[in-house]
């Protein structure tokens, strides 16, 4: 388990690097860059799981939709299964595959379930990107470091 660093430890490291003054008294651009990084971290942390209700069974499942690089087998597999379902639908051939939930339980889904999953995932990712972009637009409009640092990152997320 990764230990969270205390603010004192961060300050000591910054002092050693000669960057403490920037940390305590950043320029407006430095404060904005710091906030942009926080927005991206917030988006990533919020996008790890997706709740999906399988249409054919009405079973609700938590699905991992984000993993740390370089190993992203679930994301690759989800994309491939969704693509195969769409191809099967176009070719009018049956298709079914298992959805692996976040807890590693498995649920058999037909092509219509996979297509619904793909559509919901697409919309969810778009909503997270739109929320992050709204934060960035707000930050770009600020004229002081205090405004930037005071920006509430809990807003807008789906």
> For residue range 101-111, what is the model confidence (pLDDT) as tens digits?
999 999 999 99
CB 157 within 8 Å of CB 131: yes
Per-residue pLDDT at 18 exceeds 60: no
CB 136 within 8 Å of CB 39: yes
> For residue range 76-92, what is the model confidence (pLDDT) as tens digits?
889 999 999 999 999 99
DSSP 8-state assignment for residue 81:
H
135-143: long-range contacts (C-beta < 8 A, 24 or more apart)? 135/35, 135/39, 136/36, 136/39, 139/32, 139/35, 139/36, 139/39, 140/32, 142/28, 142/32, 143/28
Question: E strand or H helix at 51, and its extent?
Answer: strand 49-54
Distance from C-alpha of 43 to C-alpha of 135, rounded to nearest angstrom: 11
> For residue range 137-154, what is the model confidence (pLDDT) as tens digits?
999 999 999 999 999 999
Banded model confidence at residue 8, pLDDT cuts 50, 70, 90 = low
Top mean-pLDDT range of 29-33, 50-54, 153-157: 50-54
pLDDT of residue 69: 65
Per-residue pLDDT at 2 exceeds 60: no
> For residue range 37-86, what is the model confidence (pLDDT) as tens digits?
999 989 988 999 999 999 999 999 999 988 776 666 888 889 999 999 99
Mean pLDDT within 111-122: 96
Banded model confidence at residue 17, pLDDT cuts 50, 70, 90 = low
């Amino acid at each position: 388990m990764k230990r969270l660093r205390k603010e004192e430890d961060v300050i000591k490291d910054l002092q050693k690097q000669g960057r403490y003054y920037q940390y305590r008294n950043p320029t407006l651009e430095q404060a904005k860059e710091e906030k942009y990084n926080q927005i991206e971290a917030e988006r990533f942390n919020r996008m790890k799981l997706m709740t999906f209700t399988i249409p054919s069974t009405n079973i609700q499942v938590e699905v991992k939709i984000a993993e740390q690089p370089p190993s992203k087998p679930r994301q690759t597999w989800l994309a491939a299964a969704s693509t195969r379902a769409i191809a099967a639908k176009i070719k009018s051939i049956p298709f079914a595959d298992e959805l692996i939930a976040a807890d590693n339980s498995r649920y058999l889904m037909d092509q219509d379930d996979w297509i619904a999953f793909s559509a919901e995932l697409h919309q969810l990712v778009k909503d997270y990107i739109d929320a992050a972009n709204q934060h960035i637009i707000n930050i770009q409009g600020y004229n002081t470091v205090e405004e930037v640092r005071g920006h509430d990152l809990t807003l807008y997320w789906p």
